[in-house]
């Protein structure tokens, strides 16, 4: 999995001690999540806009000071980011103003532009020095929640199939036998199924076999960003295998339903699925 978080930080006073402290807050928050950070700092809105022109540039989230000078604000940068159709990248906006003032400014800006441009962002007031560190830590956690979910999907596949492999090893008394692979145990179960029931369960056996291959592919993955569909995890062994963020719910539901059928087969494949089974066997 990709372990470096790419951040663009817009701040017109990069040498300010307060900014340096906030930079440390964010770096520490990212490292505490188990990732490394690559934070590019820019001091003016024009340089920040230049970065947005590079479509191949990977950015995980943006951070910006609200008060940039020259009648420019971090809200202008947020709108520029969203106008480039970077809707999923999280945006952190901070200001010396209190929360009431920030809200008023945002409401005023909402009257000038589309509401959806203000999605997926948070704002932090620096007026209270007591909670600033915690506020930045929480914002980082929110911004990286997408990574956590993709990582969790990868872990779910690995965990579920580890359990299925264990059950096969118990069934065929192969616990501790390193000479027998998961795929070999699968074939042993399939080959021990009568022809009639092998035909009945053909679709499930085929899907299960494919999933065994996917588990191996998921052992070597990277996180990437697809401009047409968003974040995804992709196998570094087989680039054709991709899990997109927008299909995680469907993938989880499918894995759950398939596992139920596989458990049925491990218990005994030479029988028909019970009528109470919610999902019918897949036939090919």
At 198-227, the pLDDT tens digits run: 999 999 999 999 989 888 777 778 877 777
What is the Cα–Cα distance from 55 to 57, expressed in whole angstroms? 5
pLDDT of residue 190 exceeding 80, the answer is yes
Contact in structure between 7 and 59 (CB atoms under 8 Å)? yes
DSSP state of 274: P
DSSP state of 126: -
For residue 283, what pLDDT band results from cuts at 50, 70 and 90?
Answer: very low
pTM of the model: 0.57
What is the Cα–Cα distance from 124 to 102, expressed in whole angstroms? 9
């Amino acid at each position: 999995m990709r372990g470096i978080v790419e951040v663009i930080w817009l701040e017109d006073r990069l040498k300010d001690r307060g900014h340096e402290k906030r930079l440390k807050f964010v770096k520490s928050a990212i490292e505490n999540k188990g990732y490394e950070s690559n934070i590019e700092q820019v001091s003016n809105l024009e340089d920040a806009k230049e970065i947005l022109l590079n479509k191949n540039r990977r950015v995980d989230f943006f951070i910006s000071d609200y008060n940039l000078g020259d009648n420019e604000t971090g809200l202008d940068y947020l709108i520029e980011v969203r106008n480039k159709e970077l809707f999923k990248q999280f945006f952190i906006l901070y200001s010396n103003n209190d929360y009431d003032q920030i809200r008023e400014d945002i409401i005023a800006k909402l009257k000038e532009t589309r509401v959806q441009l203000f999605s997926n962002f948070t704002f932090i007031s620096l007026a209270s020095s007591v909670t600033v560190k915690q506020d930045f830590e929480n914002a980082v956690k929110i911004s990286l929640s997408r990574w956590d979910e993709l990582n969790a999907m990868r872990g779910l596949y690995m965990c579920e199939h580890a359990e299925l492999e264990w059950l096969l090893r118990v069934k065929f008394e192969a616990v501790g036998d390193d000479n027998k692979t998961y795929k070999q145990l699968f074939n042993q179960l399939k080959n021990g199924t009568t022809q009639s029931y092998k035909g009945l369960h053909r679709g499930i056996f085929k899907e299960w076999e494919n999933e065994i291959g996917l588990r191996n592919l998921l052992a070597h993955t990277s996180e990437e960003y697809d401009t047409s569909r968003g974040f995804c995890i992709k196998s570094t062994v087989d680039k054709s295998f991709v899990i997109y963020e927008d299909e995680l719910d469907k993938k989880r539901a499918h894995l759950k339903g398939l596992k139920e059928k596989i458990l049925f087969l491990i218990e005994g494949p030479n029988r028909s699925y019970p009528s109470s089974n919610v999902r019918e066997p897949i036939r090919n």
